[in-house]
Structure 1
Amino acid sequence: MVNSSHEAMHRIFQEYPGLFTGVSKVLDLPFIQPASVTVLPTDLTEVRPVERRVDTLLRFDYDGEDSFLLAVEAQSGKDPDKPASWAYYLSFLYAKYKIPPLLLVVCQDRSTAEWAARPMVLGPPDWPSLTLRPLVVGPHNMPVITDPEEARADLALAVLSAITHAKEPAVDGILKTLSTALHDAPEAVVVTIIEFTAQGLGGNRRAAELWRNLVAVDLSPYKSYIFEEFRDEGRAQGRAQGRAQGHAEDILLVLEERGLDVSEETRARITGCDDPDLLRRWLKRAINVSSAEDVFREPDGAA
């Protein structure tokens, strides 16, 4: 199933095709800046009713050098069926475009990256016909960019650093560095970087919250749907917290008006609750309970 993190891992190469040159430098590979890059259709479907799509497909052309195709796949976990699909992609691309294809797999954890990097041999052991050898990037080989100047020099690579380290503790420092590096960048660039980074963090809620706060504090002048989403979420959270606080005050008021003693522990538990539904149940019980602590007691007697 495609999710926002999946999209960010490969679509950043569409938005910033030169990112592959930066990745090549990091990995000490011989690929240089192309004269031009073309984003190609990703549909690899044949006439037969079997649909196969590569995530992102780019054509790299060089002055006086051979061209090649770059197929970028975002891989969030191990999939035993994927290597065969990848081998099909490369064979189909070569047959269709007559240009050498290269497969780049982007991962967010070391285990998946190590799995994806294993060569897959097609054919009998005594005479293998084809060997699939993907180029894999992930937290094991992408740099942890924590220098704002380094981030400014290649913002796309800094975003890829955050995306590939999204599940690692190091992502905090990368995000703080990235927000600093964006201060002097053009607004159009900032908006795109904000959105790719937010999407690429995927399920790391803590990192997503950190990025949300950094965007709100450091990059608030810039407008994007991600920024508006962050702002709306903050307002919604504020309203929910306000409702919860109101319910807690009502519970304490009812208990006090009924002359019931409210211990500090009970008061702290009520005011510390941020679940409006639970607070409403406690409020209903506060009308009839014989002690303040009984508001926590469920009908079956379990606290």
Structure 2
Amino acid sequence: MVSPPHEAMHRIFQHDPHLFSRLSAVLGFSLPTPVEVTVMPTDLTETNPVERRVDTVLRLKSADGSSYVLAIEAQRKKVSSKPASWAYYTSYLWTTYGLPTALMVVCQDHATARWAQQPVVSGPPGLPTLTLTPLVVGPHNTPAITDPAEAREDLVMAALSAITHAAEPDINAILKALSAALQQDVPEDDADPIIEFVAQGLGDSPARKLWRNLVAVDLSFYKSYIAEEIRDEGRAEGRAEGVAEGRAEGRAEGVAEGRVEGVAQGKANAILLVLEQRGIHVPAEAHDRITGCSDLGLLDTWLTRALTATSAAEIFEAE
């Protein structure tokens, strides 16, 4: 089963097919600038019952009419069988489309990148019949974009920087720069995929919590992502507390009452969390009013207002 970081490492090139061309300039190898890029089918299965599927395949066409195929593989760890699969992928694509074929492997750690960079040689000693040399992209050669202005110039490249540096010491600075860049009047249709790719690429690393908090600071450009996550946390906590309290009383009435009180407490916690993440001070009186409320409908109204309020008092403005 593929993981979110695996998907983010190659799907970002489907989202922006011209990213490879910009990346090639950054890494210092010369290729004609493509004027047209086509996302190709990734299923390399033959008629025999062996399924082979490459992560992403692009066809790049240059201004002079020449074209080549690029296979992109996301690799999170060493897998001894992978080099043979990579050789198959490139040979199959070369044979199928009759075009020069290159292989790029995207990694998130130095050890995997060093392993993937080694030439793949097929043939007995002294007779290297087939040699494959992948282009490897990872934390060792992808620039760490820590300047918001630079990130704003190329948001997709900045997202790739965050994905490939997910476990690096500079990841916090990269995420802060990207978050700041996204708040500079970036259209929602452009911001949403970037935020999602980065969230997937970070996986369960410690940096994911920081990214969640950074996104929560300005909910206006991506409300659904963070708001639903916070609501889910509050509901889960509330249900757990409610069921526990009801069981302790040992009566059916206690279970029902406990669930309602628990859900209310969960919603109250969600409101306080939203305000905290947005940097809004909550006075003791407002805190007590929120946590002491048992009206689920009213709590939902307050939670919605908390997403855009500029002070704690604003969430009570109509009451």
TM-score (norm 2): 0.72
Instruction: State the shift of 1:137 in Å.
Output: 0.6
Determine if contact 1:34/1:62 at 8 Å carries over to the other structure: yes
- Cα separation, partners in 2 of 1:215 and 1:173, compared to 1, 3 Å: same
Determine if contact 2:59/2:70 at 8 Å carries over to the other structure: yes
In structure 2, the gaps of 5 or more residues are 249-319
Q: Which amino acid aligns with 2:63?
A: D
Determine if contact 1:212/1:230 at 8 Å carries over to the other structure: no
Question: What residue is the counterpart of 1:175 in the other structure?
Answer: 175
- Cα separation, partners in 2 of 1:187 and 1:67, compared to 1, 3 Å: same
More deviation, 65-74/78-87 = 65-74
Alignment: residue pair count: 244
Determine if contact 1:198/1:226 at 8 Å carries over to the other structure: no
> In proportion to residue count, which structure has more helix?
2
CA–CA distance in structure 2, aligned partners of residues 142 and 2 of structure 1? 23
Larger radius of gyration: 1
Instruction: State the shift of 1:178 in Å.
Output: 0.3
CA–CA distance in structure 1, aligned partners of residues 39 and 223 of structure 2? 24
Q: Which amino acid aligns with 1:166?
A: A
- Cα separation, partners in 2 of 1:85 and 1:126, compared to 1, 3 Å: same
Determine if contact 2:104/2:137 at 8 Å carries over to the other structure: yes
Cα shift readout 1:120-158 (whole Å, capped 9, x = no counterpart): 111122221110100001111111110111111111110
Secondary structure in 2 aligned to 1:35? strand
Determine if contact 2:165/2:171 at 8 Å carries over to the other structure: yes
Instruction: State the shift of 1:236 in Å.
Output: 4.4
1:202 to 2:172 alignment: no
Instruction: State the shift of 1:229 in Å.
Output: 4.1
Cα shift readout 1:246-280 (whole Å, capped 9, x = no counterpart): 98xx9xxxxxxxxxxxxxxxxxxxxxxxxxxxxxx
Cα shift readout 1:35-61 (whole Å, capped 9, x = no counterpart): 111111100001111000000011001
- Cα separation, partners in 2 of 1:135 and 1:229, compared to 1, 3 Å: farther
Question: What residue is the counterpart of 1:62 in the other structure?
Answer: 62
Determine if contact 1:74/1:106 at 8 Å carries over to the other structure: yes
State the percentage of identical aligned residues.
55
CA RMSD of aligned residues (A): 2.1
1:227 to 2:234 alignment: no
TM-score (norm 1): 0.76
Determine if contact 1:194/1:226 at 8 Å carries over to the other structure: no
Instruction: State the shift of 1:196 in Å.
Output: 0.6
CA–CA distance in structure 2, aligned partners of residues 42 and 166 of structure 1? 26
Question: What residue is the counterpart of 1:163 in the other structure?
Answer: 163
Q: Which amino acid aligns with 1:140?
A: H
CA–CA distance in structure 2, aligned partners of residues 106 and 100 of structure 1? 20
CA–CA distance in structure 1, aligned partners of residues 159 and 201 of structure 2? 8
Secondary structure in 2 aligned to 1:213? helix
CA–CA distance in structure 2, aligned partners of residues 199 and 65 of structure 1? 36
CA–CA distance in structure 2, aligned partners of residues 224 and 79 of structure 1? 39
Residue pairs, 1:1-303, within 5 angstroms: 1-183=1-183, 184-204=185-205, 206-218=206-218, 220-223=219-222, 226-236=225-235, 239=238, 243=241
CA–CA distance in structure 1, aligned partners of residues 95 and 141 of structure 2? 31
Q: Which amino acid aligns with 1:226?
A: Y
CA–CA distance in structure 1, aligned partners of residues 80 and 88 of structure 2? 14
CA–CA distance in structure 1, aligned partners of residues 224 and 62 of structure 2? 36
